[in-house]
Structure 1
Amino acid sequence: MTTELISYPKRKLWMAAIKPPMYSVAIVPIWVGSAVAFWETKIFDGAVFYTFLVSAIFILAWENLSNDVFDSETGIDRNKYHSLVNLTGNKLLVFWLGNLFLLLGLLGIIVISYWQRDVTVIGIILLCCFLGYLYQGPPFRLGYRGMGEILCFFAFGPLGVNAAYYSQTQTVSVKSFAASIIVGIATSLILFCSHFHQVEDDVSAGKQSPIVRMGTQKSATVLKWFTGSIYATTLGFVAWGLFPVWTLLSWVSLPFGFQLCRHVGENHDQPEKVSNCKFIAVAVHFWSCLLFGLGFFLPVG
């Protein structure tokens, strides 16, 4: 580890450990759920929106920190020099810092529930947290069984988006659920791409990620369908009349989708070259969902 750490500037290692771009994963479900709520009801409660947004960021910080702690226990992160546990050398500190972020995040959700005299949102978010724990937390570690993308889909898609919708309207919606499918797919895409460069470490730790199960070449092919489904699903729901036509603005992000598929297709079996593909997937996720949500705010006609 020492040799590798010398070759990387400490600042870059810390930035890689904190992963600022990844926090769009927390922002997008709140944005899209609130956007659908505004489109359907013309309701937008700014205090609820921003409280939820900050809370979601805190909860995702807990998820990232706790995953570093749990991964350090299996040995899968021994070559991950930007792991916070490896950088600090203090697993207990990272563990309790993560728990602090979780408490702060849940406090914000409790405030929203108090404002609304309704515990539904806190119940949904607690379920999201439970799915997050199932991903890497002992004794479950379902991510090691190849179920991470499924958990991610439900936590950030149907649960996250509909929690945000409910926080604005205190009701449920078929259209919000449809929108949550797109967000869930786009979010799971990031996790899927994060496995391409670490197949060797996953295999040695007994982690059966989708990339390990299928191999990198077949996974690169699946990625094309995975990415395309974001845009095809949006088009299908617009044609069905569930979404306004403006949500097709998400197609403006297609160049990132093409870049992702081409880059992985050419480098799927070269860890050093493909390691940045998850950040291209973050761009696909962020821009497609940002523009998708914007489509619900734009006037029709």
Structure 2
Amino acid sequence: YLTETGNGGMLDCIKVVPDTVKFRIFNEIVQGNPPTVIEFPQNQQVVSDWQLLKMKVKNWGMALRIPFLTASVVPVLLGTAIAWFTTGTFYWGFALLTLLAAVTIHIGSNVMNDYTDHRSRNDEFNREFVRPFSGGSRVIQLGLLTPLEVLVGALFFFLLSALIGFYLAWARGPLILVLGAIGLVSGLFYTGGPFNWAKRGFGELLVGLNFGVLMTLGAYYVQTQSFSWIPVIAAIPVSLLIAAVLYINEFPDFAADKQVGKNTLVVRLGRKNAVILYALIMFTVYLSIVVGVVMDVIPATTLVGLLTLPIAVKAIQYASKHHSNSFDLIPANALTVTGHLATGLLLALAFMWEKVGAEGLLYIAMLGIVAVGFVVFMYRYVERQKNIFIGLKQAMR
């Protein structure tokens, strides 16, 4: 069975008894799942439709990578906060629709990436992936969803995002069509199609622009129906940080990406040299905040974003020391994700604080507590994933 399905290389151990075959593959060990059981037809249990539905929903939950949708939530929150700060306008309905459009195009991009990486066999070749940071969701490789289901799911989320975008363009202005089209083409052809942006080495740039400047500007435009340089400048650190998240997550995928000709920046530079660029990106994040304040484009309260600088320094230290060891690099992956989320939320809170002043400080403090709680939740989630891999490494030793 393993040979016929092309999974022989993923075999860890196997046990055959008269009526049952059990085997474990690397992916399942990493996730802490029980071994796969293959029973002879006469011994298989009947599963109810309700159980099948719950299994399918759980499998799609893995494919959507819900905890990491913060990459699209942060710029929308920032753009909406800036709109409130500059013009005093805030429309709940349009804000929620903007958030939904951003999240669905993000999901579509993630799921399409799983499909195209399966087609190129990138995920099949990848033996150094670090869940949940790299290597995709693995739902196809684990047999949880079929390639066709994944493709149809990706197209569904792209279509849903497009429909919301058309409505927002009709209700708020045509610039939404331009921004949405850029996002759609970027996500649809990120690792496949005629453009294959990641293979051409444009992946990091496009992710940074789409999940930073463009989403922030789009959220601002939906609220104000106008253009401003404030959301553009304010979103630069968010753009750089989300690009850094993608960039550091490419280190574990180095060998597989190189094998299939996916010429990411890490593949082009090599892991040792790529760390230098990673450090430069991270320090530029905080430099851009200072420059924005000095230029008097963004308020001085946004300097609160500098509070996450120690996270960046720690991430750089881990990356510099463990750039070629996927397991030991995990803290750098986790810290970069945490830094992006924390910095983006702090910038959004800074604009809100600037708007309400001292009188509304209590409300901002309450929002800050919620934001801190969310950051802690996300950090504990990535810590749990990190500990699974570290435990696996120790067991292998």
| TM > 0.5 fold call | yes
**What one-letter code is carried by the residue in structure 1 that aligns with 2:122?**
I
**What one-letter code is carried by the residue in structure 2 that aligns with 1:42?**
G
Distance 1:167 1:92, change over 3 A: same
Of residues 185, 192, 196, the one that matches 1:141 is 196
**What one-letter code is carried by the residue in structure 1 that aligns with 2:80?**
S
Does the aligned pair in 1 maintain the 2:108–2:187 contact within 8 Å?
no
Segments of structure 1 that go 5 or more residues without pairing to the other structure are: none
State the distance in 2 between where 1:195 and 1:16 align. Answer: 20
Indicate whether 1:50 and 2:50 are aligned. Answer: no
Cα-to-partner distance string for 1:9-64 (whole Å, 9 max, x where unaligned): 249x9676543332111111211111111111111111111121122111111000
Indicate whether 1:202 and 2:202 are aligned. Answer: no
**What one-letter code is carried by the residue in structure 2 that aligns with 1:296?**
F
Indicate whether 1:19 and 2:41 are aligned. Answer: no
Structure with greater helix percent: 1
Distance 1:269 1:244, change over 3 A: same
Distance 1:241 1:84, change over 3 A: same
Q: Which has the higher contact order (CA 8 A, sep 6+)?
A: 1
The 10-residue stretch of structure 1 (159-168 or 72-81) with the greater mean CA deviation from structure 2: 72-81
Which residue pairs with 1:187 in the alignment? 242
Task: Give the TM-score normalised by the residue count of structure 1.
Answer: 0.92
Does the aligned pair in 2 maintain the 1:194–1:277 contact within 8 Å?
no
1:111-122 → structure 2 map (5 Å cutoff): 111-116=167-172, 118-122=173-177
Indicate whether 1:266 and 2:317 are aligned. Answer: no
**What one-letter code is carried by the residue in structure 2 that aligns with 1:236?**
V
Distance 1:84 1:263, change over 3 A: same
Does the aligned pair in 1 maintain the 2:199–2:261 contact within 8 Å?
yes
Which residue pairs with 1:220 in the alignment? 275
State the distance in 2 between where 1:73 and 1:239 align. Answer: 48
Distance 1:208 1:72, change over 3 A: same
Larger radius of gyration: 2
Which residue pairs with 2:76 in the alignment? 30
**What one-letter code is carried by the residue in structure 2 that aligns with 1:274?**
L
State the distance in 1 between where 2:292 and 2:252 align. Answer: 34
Indicate whether 1:64 and 2:110 are aligned. Answer: yes
**What one-letter code is carried by the residue in structure 2 that aligns with 1:7?**
I
1:126-165 → structure 2 map (5 Å cutoff): 126-165=181-220
Does the aligned pair in 1 maintain the 2:252–2:326 contact within 8 Å?
yes
Indicate whether 1:296 and 2:351 are aligned. Answer: yes
Of residues 231, 242, 257, the one that matches 2:312 is 257
Which residue pairs with 1:108 in the alignment? 164
State the distance in 1 between where 2:164 and 2:197 align. Answer: 28
Which residue pairs with 1:177 in the alignment? 232
State the distance in 1 between where 2:65 and 2:312 align. Answer: 21
The 10-residue stretch of structure 1 (18-27 or 290-299) with the greater mean CA deviation from structure 2: 18-27
Which residue pairs with 2:389 in the alignment? none
Cα-to-partner distance string for 1:66-97 (whole Å, 9 max, x where unaligned): 00001111111113484222232510001101
CA deviation after TM superposition for structure 1 residue 281, in Å: 1.5
State the distance in 2 between where 1:276 and 1:21 align. Answer: 17
**What one-letter code is carried by the residue in structure 2 that aligns with 1:26?**
S
The 10-residue stretch of structure 1 (105-114 or 145-154) with the greater mean CA deviation from structure 2: 105-114
RMSD: 2.1
**What one-letter code is carried by the residue in structure 1 that aligns with 2:193?**
P
Does the aligned pair in 2 maintain the 1:156–1:184 contact within 8 Å?
yes
Task: Give the TM-score normalised by the residue count of structure 2.
Answer: 0.71
Segments of structure 2 that go 5 or more residues without pairing to the other structure are: 1-9, 12-24, 35-57, 127-134, 359-397
Number of aligned residues: 299
